[in-house]
Structure 1
């Protein structure tokens, strides 16, 4: 059977399994350094290639998407639907985590020795007001060069909107130019995606070779709480929303997004996975570029359901370990701060770990408690990133349906 005849998501799954096997064998026969230093180079090359296309893909997709919107009313309606969906699902995720961490109480009676907080972590935290100000770039090109996604999105949205207000022939010329750039970027994206199985193989092998399984056992109850919350949100909450609100088959949609979800799992980066997410949502699920180019880049930056749930559980776990009982009011502060912190979290590996310091500060918990969860953060990061991308994709198909797109390939049987 030729490799070309194997679907991409199966190729990625095979790469993931082979990566796990290589890591396990390397730890048994003690050649982890070869995996971590040499094999991992393949993963690093794949990640760099994905990062290379993120900014031009976001700029061209958002601008071409906005210029395809018929009027300002359409733009405002799409924006309102997108933000409303993101806030609603993030709050549902946080409340799921809050209920579970109170029921299971993984930190009660735990006696954990832990590392100190990583150096420089606290200094990398910004207040939410600073975050809002930084959305407006002083220099858009500098923000793009630094890979700052929120300012890039903000500028692209404005630029695209005012192209629609430009006089002819400039409006037509600019619209055609950015549409052409977007088509070229999608072609480049398809080329890079061909190497996803190799990249996933190398990335997963490196992670397991580095962390092993010994660090998991002392934090097993905490991990179970986070994973259970992520599972409930991903397999119950979001499927119910797409099924009843959009008439969409969750199983068909999951199959359509499987390649993107496995890439998100291995890279731990919703931003790096964005090219594959856009490719899957358009070519497999059938969502129009008009919707996907607006909803997905924004979602990869501000819609972090998995991260929000994790931050809530982690903060409550740290409080329980220290024997600090948080009142209902303080727990609501945790919920709201987790929402805001997840919006501000970058779509990169371990971003949630950085943002959790905001929550700990908000309710007066010791920042050193972060050291307790460091050992298993990478494993949970992979899972919560997959949930983040899954939520983005569910939002895209729901919003597409609300915009009257009735030719989606993921609709329930019998729906038009």
Structure 2
């Protein structure tokens, strides 16, 4: 609890420092805004990349161990069903809340902001128009576990982890124990890494806020 409080305080301090630093550069050093924003933004990029780095191994190890330790497939089904229900419900609530708030407050209304849509964004929009059931199935089911890990396709990793966990649970406890123990240890190691990475969150906040304030 004390560590969490310290981290929270550091994040708040970083937020205030980011606002102050960004404002100083914006008003006092307008010629250096682009260079400052580009360099300070690296702090946020480092934090985001560190978080992205641990998502795949964390999801794989925790899911496989959780399913394999349950053993009973009926229990796995019940837990999985409840988890999916909570996930879908939370997603729908967050989407509806976002839509309501955006339509009510109308952020950006009255401002003269010109959006620069680059080629990559246009290509992404075109891809969404061509989206089909076949493309959805290809996106969900991994062609290769290593490819899914390399590209951080979390949904594909989840699908493989569930199948792997169910298959592992079908073995006897004696046969499955070495793999479960290995993955359980891996999960604990990754969780320890998470605790280390979270201490870089204040730097990420500082970089992101200072960059945004300096530009605008």
More displaced stretch, 19-28 vs 78-87: 78-87
1:190-233 deviation per Cα after TM superposition (whole angstroms, max 9, x unaligned)? 122222212221122123323x1xxxxxxxxxxxxxxxxxxxxx
Structure with the largest fraction of helix:
2
- After TM superposition, give the deviation of residue 43 of structure 1 in Å: 2.3
The correspondence of residues 273-352 of structure 1 with structure 2, limited to 5 A, is: none
What is the Cα deviation at residue 136 of structure 1?
0.7
Given the two structures, how large is their TM-score scaled by the length of structure 2?
Answer: 0.81
Structure-1 residue corresponding to 2:6: 7
Quote the Cα distance in structure 2 between the aligned partners of 1:97 and 1:6. Answer: 29
| Counterpart secondary structure, 1:56 | helix
Matches within 5 A, 1:126-275: 127=131, 129=133, 130-210=135-215, 212=216
Alignment length (residue pairs):
207
Higher relative contact order (CA 8 A, sep 6+): 2
Larger radius of gyration: 2
Q: Residue 64 of structure 2 contacts residue 165 of structure 2 at CA under 8 Å; is this kept in 1?
A: yes
Structure-2 change in CA distance of 1:84 and 1:141 (3 Å)? same
Q: How much does 1:87 deviate?
A: 2.5
Q: Aligned in 2, Cα 1:116/1:36: closer, same or farther, shift over 3 Å? A: closer
Change (3 A) 1:111 1:208: closer
For residues 320-366 of structure 1, the C-alpha deviation after alignment (integer angstroms, 9 at most, x for no partner) is: xxxxxxxxxxxxxxxxxxxxxxxxxxxxxxxxxxxxxxxxxxxxxxx
Q: Which residue of 2 aligns with 1:25?
A: 24
1 CA distance for matches of 2:7 and 2:41?
A: 21
- The CA RMSD over aligned residues, in Å, is 3.0
Tell me: CA distance 1:84–1:139, structure 2 relative to 1, closer, same or farther (3 Å): same
Q: 1:67: which partner in 2?
A: 68
Deviation at 1:14, TM superposition (A): 1.0
What runs of 5+ residues in structure 2 fail to find an aligned partner? Answer: none
Name 2:118's counterpart in structure 1: 118
Q: Does residue 45 of the first structure (1) align with residue 46 of the second (2)?
A: yes
Q: Tell me, what secondary structure is at the counterpart of 2:171?
A: coil
Displacement of 1:118 in angstroms is 3.4
Q: What is the distance in 2 between the residues matched to 1:5 and 1:112?
A: 41
Partner of 1:77: 78
